[in-house]
Structure 1
């Protein structure tokens, strides 16, 4: 489902204009991004939990040249689905 399809579906379900739904959706995504940037955990009931995790530096090997490379640390976003969601799509 694309963003446009999601906006149209929500607009029909809520009885809102597509412009209003698009603004609310954009604001929601912006808020999630902002919270994740602050290392906050975001819990959405019956859906799941978004959280950031710091991955340490590691050594990787190029399979073609066998050259060892140092991969710098980075922050990764993880999503853990709620039990209800897991059970529904087992």
Structure 2
């Protein structure tokens, strides 16, 4: 399912226009991104938890030429689904 299909499905379920649904989805994603900038964790009840984790620096080896390379530390987004969502997926 792509973004257009997702927006159409939500619009059909809520009775809102596709344009209004697109604005709502953009606002939702923007709010999540904003909150994760301020804190490191955001829990959405019944859906799951978004968390910013720091990956430590590491050394990787290119198997073709055995060259070693240092990968710097970085922040990554992790998602852990709630028990309710896990149960619905079964």
The answer for unaligned runs of 5 or more in structure 1 is: none
RMSD between superposed Cα atoms in Å = 1.3
After TM superposition, the runs of 4+ consecutive aligned structure 1 residues lying more than 6 A away are none
How many Å apart are 1:31 and its aligned residue?
A: 1.2
Pair 7,42 (structure 1): closer, same or farther in 2 beyond 3 Å? same
Post-superposition offset of 1:45: 1.2
The CA deviation at 1:69 is 0.8
Which whole-Å deviations, capped at 9, do the CAs of 1:10-52 have from their partners, x for residues lacking one? 1111111111111010111111112222343111111110010
Q: Which runs of 5+ in 2 are unaligned?
A: none
Q: Normalization by structure 1: what TM-score? A: 0.89
SS at match of 1:43: strand
